[in-house]
Structures are given as C-alpha cells and as structure tokens.
Amino acid sequence: MFIPTTPEELKKLGWDSLDVILVSGDTYIDSPYSGVALIGHQLIRAGYKTGIIAQPNTTNYIDIARLGVPRLFWGVTAGMVDSMVANTTALGKPRRMDDNTPGGLNNRRPNRATLVYTNLIRRWFKNTAPIVLGGIEASLRRLSHYDFWSNSLRRSVLLDSKADYLLYGMADKSILELAEILKMRGDARGIRGLCYLSPTVPKDYIELPSFEACELSKQKFIDMFNTFYANNDPITAKGLAQKSGSRYVIQNPPAMPLTTEEMDYVYNAPFENAVHPYYRAMGEVRAMDTIRNSIVTHRGCYGECNFCAIASHEGRHISWRSKESILKEAKQLSSRKDFRGIIHDLSGPTANMYGFDCEIKRQKGACKNRSCIYPEVCPSLKLTHLPHLELLRAVRDLPGVRKVFVGSGIRYDMVMADKLHGRAYVRELAGHHVSGQLKLAPEHSEPNVLACMRKPHTQALLDFKKAFELESEAHGLEQYLTYYLIAAHPGCTKEDMIQLQEFAASELKVMPEQVQIFTPTPSTYASLMYYTETDPFTGKKIFVEKTDTGKMQQKALITGWRGKKSRQVDEREARGADRGDKRSDKRDRPKQQAGDEPRRETRIVRDDDGRFFMNRKPEGWVDKKSKDYKKKSKTSRTLSESRPYDPERRPRPTDGDGEKSPRPRKPFDPDRRPPRADGDQSQGPRKPYDPKRRPPRADGDKPQGTRKPYDPKRRSPRADDDKAQGARKPYDSKRKPPRADGDKSQGTRKPYSQKRDPKDKRQSHSGDTKKEKTRTT
C-alpha cells in the first residue's frame, strides 16, 4: 500500500483531511530503506491519516499545499542523507547526480533542506500545526555543531528553522508518542528522544557551555562535545540543556532501542518496494537498483568510528529482526514477478553484527572508558557469527532464491577475533555470498592515523585477506577484496599517504581506486578534530589538511602513483629515495619481486540490467554513441575517402634531426583556377579576360551581359527599390518638400511674411492650448 501523496488518492481512501503530513528531501520510495516511508506506515497502522510530499517545489505553494493542512503536525526531513553531503563534494563542488531523485539529476533537493522546507511551510501557512524535524540532518544538528560548508560553528537547527520540536535518532517510538499527546492536546516535552526550546533548564539536566562560549573558545566546544557524546546511551544518558541567546535548547535522553518483536512489527509493514507512480513518471530512481532486492536485518553499530555518524544517530546498541521475520520478507521478495533469484544485500550498517550483544551494556549501559571493539574486541561482547551464518544458509535454501550476497561491508577484525565461527564465516562468504568483490574499510595503514579514526590495526586485515584468498581458491572462484580508504583525515600527512600507498602495493597487491577525501559531518569526533586541530582524547595538537590543493595531493599520492607522472608522484619517489633504511626499520615488509606487480583494483562494471554501477564507467571506456566519437570517426572516414591511395606517393623526407621537411610546392600554373568555396575540385582553365564583362551581382545572378552605356539623365535607384524610374523632374524652387507624415499632395509654399501674428495658433494642434490652460489653472 502506497501512502497517499496526491488529492486523488485521498478521495479514493475517503479522507477529507490528514492528521500528519511528512515532507521529505528524497523522492517517495515505499521501502523499509526509506525513513519517511517507515515512519509513515507506522503512523497509518496506529490509526493516523498520513500523507507524504516528496521534494516539493520551493518557489511556490503548489506542491506544499496540495494535501491541505494537517490536523496534528508537519513532519520535515532532508532525506536519508544530509542535504549538504548529498549536494556538494568534499572540495565544495556541486554534485551533478542524485540517486534518490527521479531522473538522476541533482536538481530537486535544496541545500539545508530542513531549513528550506520549514520556512516554506511557515511562509504559506500562518498559525499552522506544529512542525516536527527529523532525519539524520536534524539529528546531527540538534545542538551547537561545526558546519564544514560555512567553516563556522552553527547553533541548533531548532533555532534556525523556527520549528516546534525535533526528534533525533530513529524515532520509531517517539513519533507515535508525540502524535498521541498532540491528539490529546497534552504536554509533549517529556518524550524521550525529543528536543525543544525553553526559557529555563529542567531539573537534573546537565547544562552545557553556551553557544556563545563555544564560539569564543575551542576548548569549551571540546568540553561541550565530550559531554554530548557521553550522554547518547539510552540507559545512562541524562538530559542536556544548552543556552543560545535568551533561550535553552533542551535535549531529552535518547529513546530506548527496539526489541526483536518491535523490529519485526516495524519491518513487516505492507511496503510496495517501489517508487510511487506519481514520482516514477518523472524519471528513473537509481536508488531502487540497490534496495529493490535487499533486506534489512539489523540497525546500530558497535564500531564508533570517529568519522561516522551512525553512533550519534542510530546508536551503539544493536537491534535485530528475528529469523522468521526475515524469511517471511525473503519469501515475499521471491514471489514478485521482477525478481531474478538474486538478493543483493542481506545485512545492516555492518553485516557481521547480527544476533549478539553485550549483556552488561543492555542492563547497565555502554562503558564510558572503552569501546566494544576498539582497540580490541571486548570479551563481554560474546562475539559470535553463528546467527548470521544460519540466517544466510536459511535464506539461500528458499525456493526461487539462487544467490544471497552480502553487499554491505564487514568488520574483518571481528571475524578474526571469533575463534569458534570466524573461519567458518569466511568459508561461507567466499563460497556462496560474494558477488565477485567483498567490501572492506581499513581506511588507512599508519598507526597514528588509525588512532585518530578509531580503526583496528592492519594485522587483522592481512590475516583476513590471507584466509579469504585461501577459501576462494579452495572453491575455485576468482574473487577480490575492495578496500575503502580515506585521504586528508585529521592527523594524516603526505608522508602517511606515501606509507599507505606502499602498504597497498606491497601487502594488499592493489592500486586502490576507492579513495575518498574526508568530509567533516556534524556531531562526529573527526569534525571536532578538523575544527579544533586537537586530539580531544589526548589534548595534543594534530596536523589537519584544510586546503583543497593539499587534499587533492594526498589523494593523488595513492591513486596516481602509476601511469602519468605528476608533481605528487615525483615528490613521493624523491621522498622514498631519501628515506633509505628508515622505512625498513619502521615496518619490516618484503620487497616486491619482479613480475609480481600489484593489480589495479577492479569493481563491478555493470549491474543485472546492463547499467554501470554507481554511474561510473571503467577506465579507458569508449562510448560509441557519444558526439565526440561520431565526430572523430566521421572526420577520419572523410579524410580517407577524399585522398585515394597512390602507390607512387612517398613519405615526406626528414632532416638530420628527425623532423619532417616541408613538402615542395607544385609549379605555378597560370591557367589553373583557384578552388571554389563549395569544395568543387573539377575546374577547368581560366576564361580569357573580357573588359566588357560585368562583375557578378550581389544577389548571385550570374547571367550578365555587357554594361549599359552611361546616361547622365538616368535617375539613380530610389530607396524603396522601385526600379521603374523615368527622367528627373526639373527643379522647382517653389515646390514644398514632403511632409513627415508622408502626405505628397502639397502645393507651393506660402510667401514668408514678417508681419505674421505670433499669437496665431493655426499651426498648433487643436484643443491642446485649451487643455494646457485648464491644467495650469
């Protein structure tokens, strides 16, 4: 069932008005991967009439007003991705493509979409229902944060947007509680996972440094963020309050994570797994290529990587669905007519975090002084890959299912830390659940950079690589590992990128292509390091590359190390020669043998429908349908056909330096006619000169005779091109010249009289004098 998005759908359902209207920066895809669809189905199943307006036009009121005014509240979200991340690159350049927009062009999602949509509602609907913000953009900007795109601190999005409430996190429970309280016209300020504005600080809430204090002192901002991050656990967190101007932004403790039964209920909603027909008519939505045949198994992440926003948005607790619920969705998926027997992804944010958790964390909350899997996997986590193994086997055995792939990345350090089922998990992945490439995200190789990222050491990566290659070889499959790396992360220098390139060449045997420049997103420790240039855990100053040139050079040091010579490559080679034995002292690595060249990292070029993956064409691809290819091929054919083959034609001689000497000119032929402008080469000798021949006319009429004899009495052509002219009329001194209005019927001039009365108004227009006198009076 599609959630209504047009007035015609409301009439079919018999709804006169709506209780809730959700406004989204993504197109409406009715899938559990879409947050607005997930929340919309939750509200409808709870009895609230809900509609969706996706990517409204912000220049007028037509889109935003097509469903009327809601009775309870407006829900506003920028979409599944922060609008600034979706619209701009790490270097600030606008992105051309958007997979969540019909047609693929990035022309429907505004920058800072949460602010734009809220102001659009306020502009056209005065004194309307409350506006509630949600989604990852609002969730990461709920308090003071560093904004990379304006290179400044910004206050809470609640203040900038002038919204009434903000729900952070996944908000499955919070949205239903809010709707119920607004329906009963009660006080919603006690809901968990809610932010609001208040003139005072509630009792027992922690007051953070004010926005103005954070602007003046970076140390105050570090202290504020440490307190903010420590109070993200739903069990141990306390309420927070931050003053901005004369008001306080109040953040209630986070909502409790969903249980397995609640997860089953949420994801078993009647989704269509398709784009709404209203938006499908506008063009193809490329995001459907990935999520159409994929299944969500869990949410949350144990990793807490410093550059990742999952810990601040979804949380550090894992909530997973039951095996029966996932099998039910897989059966429904396999019964569709367009299903080809392949499930592209069966996982969550990280694939191998399904089905286990720390009992201490569930009862007492997350530890404040350590992470679950960094720098080593905590023994209390009870790490096991058996639930995910059993799930993969059960889905693979369903009738109609040929392949089940793990499309999301996995944590290789967790696999190697699982002594009971880790090797069996690698064997199962390599034999049945890899589509040719398995995604890994080591991000870097240098210990100092990995510490700033909160990523594991490289030994676990090398152990996993060895095990994966052995299992792939045992199954007789040619499969590869794809490595995701980051350049210009806080703490990373050019020397570190050189070391990363050497590690990839000597140990991983690849030339990496999946390298991205670091983008500071709000409410992450990496963005805090980028802004303050300080390690918040040690207090030491770190190097941060903030110039675009430096960022591109760091990326080029690893992606452009083979092939074209550039300044970055020359710099790397020069520094590598100067280090000498220092590199071997730092890390004992075997030298590359002759002929053992690293392979260029491969990727899936085309999907099942023959389209390029992520709209990226492989290196060296020639598109024969392009205009440049047609123009080039057409030009080459024309030249070859215009010059027939001459067996006696000799190549141009060369001088002593190897350069071709100019060809000798042909002897001058006075009878040869020059080439015509139309390219006709078949021209005979010149015609003899005829002094009486008239030159060609401008209009191109060629049949001309001899010139007419000069006639002094012949009148010159008139300006109106009338050629029928006779002899000139004799000059008449008494003839009056033509009037400006073209009246030719004029008599002779009247004789000039000096005694003419100046008060004579005969030459003035009738009535004008009287009107002027009347106006003056």
Tens digits of residue pLDDT in 242-251: 999 999 999 9
Dihedral (Cα; 261, 266, 267, 268), 10-degree rounding: 80
At 263, which helix (H) or strand (E)?
A: helix 260-267
The single-letter DSSP state of residue 526 is H
Burial degree of 561 (CB within 10 A; 0-12, 13-18, 19+): buried
Asked whether residue 592 carries a pLDDT value surpassing 60, the answer given is no
List, for residues 298-322, the tens digit of each pLDDT value: 999 999 999 999 988 999 999 999 9
Average pLDDT, integer, range 101-128: 95
Closest CA to 120 of 82, 78, 152, 154: 78
Taking the C-alpha atoms of residue 515 and residue 557, their distance in angstroms, rounded to an integer, is 11
Work out the percent of the chain whose per-residue pLDDT is above 70.
75
User: Which pLDDT band, with edges at 50, 70 and 90, does 689 fall under?
Assistant: confident
Q: How confident is the model at residue 447 (pLDDT cuts 50, 70, 90)?
A: very high
Confidence at residue 151, expressed as pLDDT on a 0 to 100 scale: 95
Any idea which of 216-220, 365-369, 489-493, 686-690 has the lowest mean pLDDT? 686-690
Q: Are 728 and 717 in contact (CB under 8 A)?
A: no
Residues paired with residue 131 on neighbouring β-strands, in sequence order: 74
Q: And the tokens for 615?
A: 């709209």
Structure confidence at residue 636 (pLDDT): 43
C-alpha to C-alpha distances, 321 to 259, 326, 329, 737, nearest whole angstrom: 8, 7, 11, 101
Whether the per-residue pLDDT at 657 is higher than 80: the answer is no
Average pLDDT over residues 627-651: 51
pLDDT recorded at residue 704: 55
Average pLDDT for residues 633-641, to the nearest whole number? 43
Confidence band, pLDDT 50/70/90 cuts, at residue 734: confident
| Dihedral sign computed on CA atoms, order 502, 507, 509, 512 | negative
DSSP 416-482: HH-TTTHHHHHHHHHHHS-SSEEEEEEE---HHHHHHHT---HHHHHHHHHHHHHHHHHTT---EEE
Q: How many CB atoms lie within 10 A of CB 41?
A: 21
Residue bearing the bigger pLDDT, 420 or 665 = 420
Q: What's the distance, CA 271 to chain centroid?
A: 26
Residues belonging to the chain: 777
pLDDT at 677 (0 to 100): 59
Q: How far is CA 457 from CA 192, 413, 466, 758, in A?
A: 37, 9, 16, 108
Is the pLDDT at 526 greater than 70? The verdict is yes
Pairing of strands 274-275, 29-30: antiparallel
Structure confidence by residue, pLDDT tens digits, 146-157: 999 999 999 999
CB environment 296-321: b (16+ within 10 A), e (fewer): bbbbbbbbbbbbbbbbbbbbbbbbbb
Beta-bridged to residue 243, according to DSSP, are 248
Identify the three-state secondary structure at position 484.
strand
Query: Is residue 581 scored above 50 in pLDDT?
Result: no
- Among 99-113, 254-268, 643-657, 685-699, the range scoring the smallest mean pLDDT is 643-657
DSSP letter for 704, please.
-
Among 51-55, 502-506, 615-619, 659-663, name the most confident range: 51-55
456, 519 contact by CB (below 8 A): no
Q: pLDDT tens digit string along 26-85?
A: 999 999 999 999 999 999 999 999 999 999 999 999 999 999 999 999 999 999 999 999
Q: What is the pTM of this model?
A: 0.74
Q: State how far the Cα of 345 lies from the Cα of 269, in Å rounded to an integer.
A: 19
- H-type alpha helices, 475-606: 494-503, 525-532, 548-559, 567-579, 582-586
Q: Which residues of 128-166 are buried (b: 16+ CB within 10 A; e: fewer)?
A: ebebbbbbbbbbbbbbbbbbbeeeebbbbbbbebebbbb
CB-based contacts of 182, cutoff 8 Å, min separation 6: 72, 73, 130, 188
Q: Tally Cβ neighbours within 10 Å of residue 238.
A: 13
Hey, is 770 helix, strand or coil? Answer: helix
What's the rounded Cα separation, in Å, for the pair 4 and 43?
Answer: 13
- For 743-765, write each residue's pLDDT tens digit: 555 555 555 555 555 555 444 44
Q: What was the pLDDT predicted at 763?
A: 46
Amino acid 667: pLDDT: 74
Q: How confident is the model at residue 692 (pLDDT cuts 50, 70, 90)?
A: confident
Sign for the CA dihedral angle at 685, 689, 693, 697 comes to: positive
Element (H, E) at 49: none
For the chain, what is the total number of helices (H) and then of strands (E)? Answer: 27, 24
The tens digit of pLDDT for each residue in 693-712 reads: 766 666 655 555 556 677 77
Least confident among 67-71, 342-346, 663-667: 663-667
Output the pLDDT for position 686: 62
Give the residue-averaged pLDDT of 226-245: 96
Residue 615 is classified by DSSP as G
515, β-bridge pairs: 485
**How far apart, in whole angstroms, are the C-alpha atoms of residue 186 and residue 25?**
30
Q: How far is Cα 232 from Cα 230, in angstroms, rounded to an integer? A: 6
CA distances to 358, 399, 536 from 429, rounded to whole Å, are 25, 20, 38
Element (H, E) at 84: helix 83-87
Helix (H) or strand (E) holding 652, with range, is none
Q: Is the peptide bond before 375 cis (omega within 30 degrees of 0)?
A: yes
Report pLDDT for 561.
43
List, for residues 540-578, the tens digit of each pLDDT value: 999 999 999 999 999 999 886 443 444 444 455 445 544
Interatomic CA distance for residues 549 and 530, integer angstroms: 16
Which amino acid type is present at position 725? Answer: Q
pLDDT per residue as tens digits for the range 72-108: 999 999 999 999 999 999 999 999 999 999 999 999 9
The arithmetic mean of pLDDT across residues 201-223, rounded, is: 96
Strands 247-251 and 194-198: antiparallel
What is the H or E stretch that residue 139 is in? helix 135-140
Inter-residue contact 173 to 256 (CB < 8 Å): yes
Is residue 454 predicted with pLDDT exceeding 60?
A: yes
The overall average pLDDT reported for the chain is 84
Alpha helices in 141-246 (DSSP H): 157-161, 172-183, 211-216, 218-230
